[in-house]
Amino acid sequence: MIPVLTAIAVVLLGAAAVAMALRNLIHCALWLVLAWSALAAFYLWAGAEFLAFAQVLIYVGAVSMVVLFAVLLTRRLPDVNPAPPPPPAGGGRILAGVAAGVLVAGVVARAGLTSPLPAAGAAPVLTTRRLGVELMGAHAGALVVAGVILTMVLIGAVVLAAPDSGDAPEGDS
Amino acid sequence: MLGTGIIKGLATTAKNFAGSFRDPRRFVTVQYPEEKAPVTEGYRNFPFLVFDAEADPMGTLRCVACRICEKECPPQCIYIVPAVDEKGKPRKHPHVFDLDISVCMSCQICVEVCPFDAIKMDQTFEIAATDRFRGLLLDKHQLARSNAHFQRIHPTEAAEVDARLAEEKRQAEEKARAAAAAKAARPPAAP
Amino acid sequence: MSSTSPVDPLLERAPLLVRDWVSGLFPAPARGLADALLAIAAVILGFGLLFTLLTLVERKALGRMQNRPGPNRTGPFGLLQPIADGIKMLVKEDIVPEAADRPLHFLAPVVLVAFTLVAYAVIPYGRHLLPVDLDAAVLFFFAAGAATELAVFMAGWSSHNKYSLLAAMRALAQLISYELPLLLAVVPVVMLAGTLSTSGIVAAQGRWSFGLVPHWYACTPWGAAGLVIFLIAALAEANRSPFDLPEAESELIAGHLTEYSGFKYALFFMAEYLGMTALCAMAVTLFLGGWQAPCMFLQVVPSYVWFGVKLAAMLGLFIWIRGTLPRLRMDQLMRLAWKFLVPLALLNLGTAAFWRLSAGWEALPAQLLRWALALLLVLGPAAVIGRRLSARVGPRTYRYAAP
């Protein structure tokens, strides 16, 4: 199990790092897609099937589209302008990176060392049905709020995309 | 109602599909090379030289090497060398008659200007050659076809040509007979 | 109503026996792996063969619908035509534009075919023939389908061709627009079956009234509407006529496939047909009862035969539609998705909920009322919205054409 987790973690973090380091924005987006797929693999390893498939469906299937459309529609074609080269690594940046790494590692280690380990053999088996019941039961409020936010976003997108009232009306409704 | 057009369209294609098994004549496809599409009389492809007697094709070619078609051909695809006898006097048939069908554009001008009905349009289209240059340069032996062939492929035109030629021949014979009769009827010349 | 009688004749278990015999040839620790590999090989070979046959059947059927014979030169009845096509594709030169993004250009067809094949893992082909029994199988299937859309974008972008990119964006817009009706048409099925697993959904349709009338979801009003919506959306997801704008020849040559030649083009082609077959198989599973027989006494015929028959019927329907309907323009396509299919799918969800809640109406007048109400709820909005949308569209009149 641990080698699998290590492999997934290497792919995930490596893809994310490459995504941040590349110049070509489209390549960055596609490496990010690889990172999301590795995250789905992690969910599968952890036994959360539903979450893994939902991750692929939403992130790889939809969010990646949004990112790519946004990149393409706000850049000039055909050569997607590479991001301006980053300033050379100075002492300040290295110090900031090390400090951030130490802070994150400290938080994770503290959480890992102080929280109790789950009892051996008590791994929960979560069926999709149980997940649905929980979502619609105990967490129904959160689901409704998320739905409302998404509806607002959708309406806002439609409003933004609609032609201004001053323009000529479209031919077909 | 929405969707009725689609249903009607689906019914039409279904009828076509089912009907194609019952009645293969529905197919408009001509299964070449087993079947060939019928060719109408007015169809023309490349020219050919007409000869009158099967027994002696080269001798009875109607062409007299007048070279009018060579001069009138727009892409200049005809090359004629008239036959000459030992004294240099032209004999009335072509020594060389080459027609390059890779250049010929089937305009039929050579047919229209020929005074002797010697060159007519053929209908063969299966003349693919493996050599682009020599294979498509036809000489007079390859171009010669009999009058019977002409009558087969262009019946009305051939009938008209034959009638005209027969009429001319008859008039020529009548004139010859009249001239001979006049000559015989004239009193012998005084010494 | 009678429930599934557990018949398990030899024919049903025959594929399992074959698999066990083959994996028995392997040493014990590798048997699980051998089972999995056999399933994979069976799916790839089986559906690959179906793909080749489908291309030929489609061309012949389209020909006959258009009053011509279709391919009949290569082999008797053109049976060797797929082989000829395959050889042609393989020997063609693989041209990659110089400015193209080579790794992406290579990856796009690979990713497309891979995710399309992965979707075949959750479809039950027979009573014991489900490659992977997942709890969230339906979600897995549509997640794999969503991942294929990324490959379309990669294909268009990596070609470094403005027109390929534009066409890829259009194809992508079509794909994501029609994902909504596709998924919304499936939600009532999940709701009524109570499970996301495909084997559960097929089992939930395994009942017959009087042993003769099957309880497939397509035999209910909301199920029929759901099937129609699913099929229209599946046609669009698979880029099939009348939604084949992305790959039409008059549209930017071949859209996002313009710069592909040879085997990569064959892979795209194969991915399209495989995707179409996967969606038809899913439609059969969700709405037509999967491998269930239509009547109780017909269960003597093995379940995979029934699945094959239904799949063939769906594919035949797709081919029939291709031969009949003209292509939709981009704006007509989007209008159909957003203004017609999505509202109808949402209303269908309501109808299915009503159907579920009125499951207790046993008496005959109540049953008739239930059916009448459900049919009204399904057909009414369709007629109303359809009439509204086609209000300004009528038969064309040509002012200057001679009558």
Annotated domain spans of chain A: 1-82, 126-162
What CA–CA distance (Å, rounded) separates B2 from C387?
7
What CA–CA distance (Å, rounded) separates C116 from C123?
12
Do the beta carbons of residue C259 and residue C167 sit within 8 Å?
Answer: no
Q: Which residues 4-43 in chain B show a CB within 8 A of chain C? A: 6, 9-10, 12-14, 16-17, 20-21, 26-29, 31
> In C, which residues are within 8 Å of B2 by CB distance?
382-383, 386-387, 389-390
Touching, C vs B (3+ Cβ pairs under 8 A): yes
Beta bridge partners of B137: B100
Shortest distance, CA C193 to any CA of chain A (angstroms): 11
Check CB contact under 8 Å for C195 and A128. Answer: yes
The stretches of A88-172 forming alpha helices (DSSP H) are: 91-114, 128-137, 140-161
* Stretch A106-131: mean pLDDT: 77
Quote the tokens at residue C11.
Answer: 């024919």
Check CB contact under 8 Å for A56 and C143. Answer: yes
CB-CB neighbours of C351 under 10 Å: 24
Check CB contact under 8 Å for C383 and B2. Answer: yes
What class has domain A1-82? mainly alpha
Query: What are the mean pLDDT values of chain C's consecutive 10-residue runs (403 residues total)?
Result: 53 85 84 88 93 94 90 88 91 87 88 93 91 91 91 86 84 90 95 91 89 89 94 91 76 74 88 94 94 88 92 95 90 90 94 91 88 92 88 76 71
- Per-residue pLDDT tens over the stretch A58-98: 999 889 988 888 887 776 544 555 556 666 667 787 888 88
Residue length of chain B: 191
> By CA distance, what is B32's nearest residue in C?
C73
- State the pairing for strand pair C208-209/B137-138: unpaired
| Residue A59: C-alpha distances to residues A11, A30, A39, A66, C107 (Å) | 17, 12, 10, 10, 19
Top residue of C135, C142, C169 to mutate, by most chain A CBs within 10 Å, is: C135
Check CB contact under 8 Å for A78 and C331. Answer: no
> In B, which residues are within 8 Å of C323 by CB distance?
13, 17
> Which amino acid makes up residue C54?
L
What CA–CA distance (Å, rounded) separates B24 from C371?
45
pTM of the model: 0.84
CB-CB neighbours of C220 under 10 Å: 23
Checking if the pLDDT of A165 tops 70, the result is no
Residue C205: HSE in the Cβ half-sphere, 13 Å Cα cutoff: 27
Classify residue C218 by burial, with Cβ atoms within 10 Å: 0-12, 13-18, 19+: buried
Shortest distance, CA C28 to any CA of chain B (angstroms): 54
In total, the C-beta contacts within 8 angstroms joining chain A to chain C are 72
Classify residue B85 by burial, with Cβ atoms within 10 Å: 0-12, 13-18, 19+: exposed
pLDDT of residue C379: 92
- Of residues C242, C25, C282, C310, the one with CA closest to residue C137: C282
Backbone angles phi, psi at C74, to 5 degrees: -85, 100
- Per-residue pLDDT tens over the stretch A2-42: 789 999 999 999 999 999 888 888 889 999 999 999 999 99
What CA–CA distance (Å, rounded) separates A41 from A59?
13
Touching, C vs A (3+ Cβ pairs under 8 A): yes
CA-based end-to-end distance of chain B: 112
pLDDT of residue A171: 41
Backbone angles phi, psi at C51, to 5 degrees: -60, -45
The stretches of C194-240 forming alpha helices (DSSP H) are: 198-204, 221-237
Quickly state the pLDDT bin for A170 (edges 50, 70, 90): very low
| Residue C2: C-alpha distances to residues C207, C223, C232 (Å) | 6, 21, 33
- Of residues B98, B108, B92, the one with CA closest to residue B154: B108
- A neighbour chains, 3+ CB pairs within 8 Å: C
> In B, which residues are within 8 Å of C68 by CB distance?
27-29
Q: Which three-class secondary structure string do you get for C308-343? A: HHHHHHHHHHHHHHHHHCCCCCHHHHHHHHHHHHHH
CB-CB neighbours of C247 under 10 Å: 21
Which residues of chain B have a pLDDT value below 70? 1, 187-191
Checking if the pLDDT of A173 tops 60, the result is no
Which residues are CB-contacts of C148 (< 8 A; sequence separation ≥ 6)? Answer: C111, C112, C115, C116, C271, C275
Quote the tokens at residue B180.
Answer: 């001979």
Beta bridge partners of B121: B47
Which residues are CB-contacts of C133 (< 8 A; sequence separation ≥ 6)? Answer: C197, C199
Do the beta carbons of residue C97 and residue C159 sit within 8 Å?
Answer: yes
> In B, which residues are within 8 Å of C379 by CB distance?
none
Residue among B1, B14, B28 whose CB faces C383 most closely: B1
pLDDT of residue A168: 45
> In C, which residues are within 8 Å of B12 by CB distance?
324
Residue among C140, C150, C393 whose CB faces A53 most closely: C140
What CA–CA distance (Å, rounded) separates C92 from C347?
50
> Which amino acid makes up residue B26?
R
| Domains present along chain B, CATH in parentheses | 47-150 (3.30.70.3270)
Beta bridge partners of C368: none
Residue-averaged pLDDT of chain A: 82
Check CB contact under 8 Å for C134 and A49. Answer: yes
Q: How far is CA A164 from the centre of its chain?
A: 33
Residue among A30, A68, A127 whose CB faces C135 most closely: A127
> Model ipTM?
0.83
- Of residues A124, B159, A54, B105, the one with CA closest to residue C146: A54
